[in-house]
Amino acid sequence: MSALFDELPVILGAFWLTLRLTLATAVAALVLGTVLAAMRVSPLGVLRTVAATYVNALRNTPLTLVIVFCGLGLGLVLDVSFSESLSVNYLWLSIIGLSLYTAAFVCEAIRSGINTVPIGQAEAARALGLTFIQNLRHIVLPQAFRAVIAPLGSVLIALIKNTTIAAAIGVAEASLTMKSLFERHQEAVVPIFLGFALGFLVLTLPVGLLFGWLARRLAVAR
């Protein structure tokens, strides 16, 4: 147990990185996923095809592959660089990989939300003279989001856990830190594991509760 307390600053630091990875990815994936969902319902066939292909490709590729590609493929081979510091660079590359992957799931959640909005809502907006983009922005997407808050919560929980894959390219988030602590404190692997597992619960459980509450609170009465 003492190992756990001795290493508390290290552990908290690792979870702080996990949290930053999660937040940065969540914002990027929400934006990209929304754009993809808009493309999937757009009147232009080519946009629909591009978005559908993207979703099918990313949703069906293992996240580890995506992260390793971003880290080694983009980072090492293609020399994509965001920072002089190697660790900061890999952090950004892992955010890119996580965002590209998570956006596919966000897109599908939002698209199912769009399907719950009655067609008359969009027709009334068109009849007022709103353009396609205005219609999505003011009428369809706000109602679609409210319908899929709970599923988006699940995507966020999955994302929090998926950040551990960034360990594959050496980002020192919680799981990689746990691995190095195992090596340093071989007598205490069980408490260390339990500590990290508890740390993830502290992050994920409130998300589930918060999104469930938001879903009930923001539901659209019809």
Partner 1 sequence: MKTPLLLLTMTEADRSTSLVSLEKVNKHFGALHVLRDIDLDVTRGEVVVVIGPSGGGKSTLCRVINRLETIDSGSITFDGHSLAVEGRALARLRSEVGMVFQQFNLFAHKTILENVTLGPTKVRKIARAQAEQRGMELLERVGIASQAAKYPAQLSGGQQQRVAIARALAMDPKMILFDEPTSALDPEMVQEVLDVMISLARDGMTMLVVTHEMGFARRAANRVVFMSDGQIIEQAAPDEFFTNPSTDRARDFLSKILTH
Instruction: Please report, as ranges, the residues that interact with partner 1 according to CB under 8 A.
Output: 43, 118, 120-121, 123-131, 134, 138-139, 142-143, 146, 220-222
Q: Give yes or no for a contact between 21 and 206, defined as CB atoms under 8 angstroms apart.
A: no
Half-sphere CA count of 93, side-chain side, radius 13 A: 32
Cα dihedral across residues 13, 14, 20, 26: positive or negative: negative
CB of 137 to partner 1, least distance (A): 9
> Which CB sits closer to partner 1, 87 or 131?
131
Angle among Cα 184, 189, 195 to the nearest 5 degrees reads 105
**Count of CB atoms within 10 A of residue 221's CB?**
3
Where does the chain have alpha helices with state H?
A: 2-6, 8-40, 45-59, 63-68, 86-116, 119-128, 132-134, 141-147, 149-162, 174-184, 189-218
If you write DSSP's letter for every residue of 6-38 in order, what string do you get? Answer: HTHHHHHHHHHHHHHHHHHHHHHHHHHHHHHHH
> Which CB sits closer to partner 1, 103 or 147?
147
- At 66, list the tokens: 């995506």
Which are the contacts of 11, defined by CB distance < 8 A and separation ≥ 6?
A: 4, 174, 177, 181, 195, 196, 199
CB of 30 to partner 1, least distance (A): 19
> Which CB sits closer to partner 1, 57 or 220?
220
> Which CB sits closer to partner 1, 138 or 184?
138
- At 81, list the tokens: 């660089």
CB of 135 to partner 1, least distance (A): 10
With CA atoms as reference, report the closest residue to 24 among 103, 141, 80: 103
> Which CB sits closer to partner 1, 148 or 188?
148
> Which CB sits closer to partner 1, 46 or 190?
46
CB of 145 to partner 1, least distance (A): 10
CB of 134 to partner 1, least distance (A): 6
> Which CB sits closer to partner 1, 32 or 117?
117
CB of 39 to partner 1, least distance (A): 17
CB of 118 to partner 1, least distance (A): 8
